[in-house]
């Protein structure tokens, strides 16, 4: 079962698109949108990433950080980022540790689930299944949390 609203977000460290180690604790005091998706450069995942790209400046203006997580490696993330000009970090969860910690694993992939984590590290919103439309996902989150 996906982690519920109100619980502490599991801490993690992972390599981003550029090979830099990123930890959840790097963003203490900020709201973090941690979105899990199945696979780079697939139709639904691309539309979802483009949704976050379109809303990036608005998120940035509200001091909200977006982090995408999939089981893809850094090279795959680099290609995906370059192809679509994604302005946010993608984290390579190759061993599935983050996916398992957030209980969103589905075989060798992550389920499409988004967690909104407040500045204290608490999960304040969870989007999954029917509560998520990939094309408008980023804007839907903004309407809910701002």
pLDDT of residue 1: 66
pLDDT value of residue 137: 87
Q: Kindly tell me the sign of the dihedral angle through the C-alpha atoms of 34, 15, 90, 69.
A: negative
Question: What is the rounded average pLDDT for all residues in the chain?
Answer: 93
Between β-strands 105-106 and 109-110, what pairing exists: parallel, antiparallel or unpaired?
antiparallel
Query: Which residues are catalytic, by number?
Result: 45
The predicted pLDDT at position 42 comes to 93
What is the pTM (predicted TM-score) of this model? Answer: 0.95
| pLDDT tens for each residue of 59-77 | 999 999 999 999 999 999 9
Residue that has been written with the tokens 């390599």 in this structure: 15
Predicted local distance difference test score (pLDDT) of residue 11: 97
3-state helix, strand, coil in the chain (%, to 5): 35, 30, 40
């Amino acid at each position: 079962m996906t982690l519920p609203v109100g619980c502490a977000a599991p801490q993690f460290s992972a390599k981003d698109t550029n090979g830099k180690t990123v930890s959840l604790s790097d963003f203490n005091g900020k709201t973090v949108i941690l979105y899990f998706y199945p696979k780079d450069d697939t139709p639904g995942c691309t539309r979802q990433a483009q949704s976050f790209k379109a809303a990036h400046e608005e998120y940035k203006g509200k001091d909200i950080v977006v982090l995408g997580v999939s089981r893809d490696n850094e090279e795959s993330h680099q290609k995906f980022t370059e192809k679509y000009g994604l302005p946010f970090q993608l984290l390579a969860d190759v061993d599935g540790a983050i996916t398992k910690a957030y209980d969103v694993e589905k075989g060798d992939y992550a389920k499409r689930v988004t967690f909104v984590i407040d500045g204290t590290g608490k999960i304040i919103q969870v989007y999954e299944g029917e509560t998520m439309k990939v094309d408008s996902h980023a804007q839907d989150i903004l309407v809910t949390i701002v």
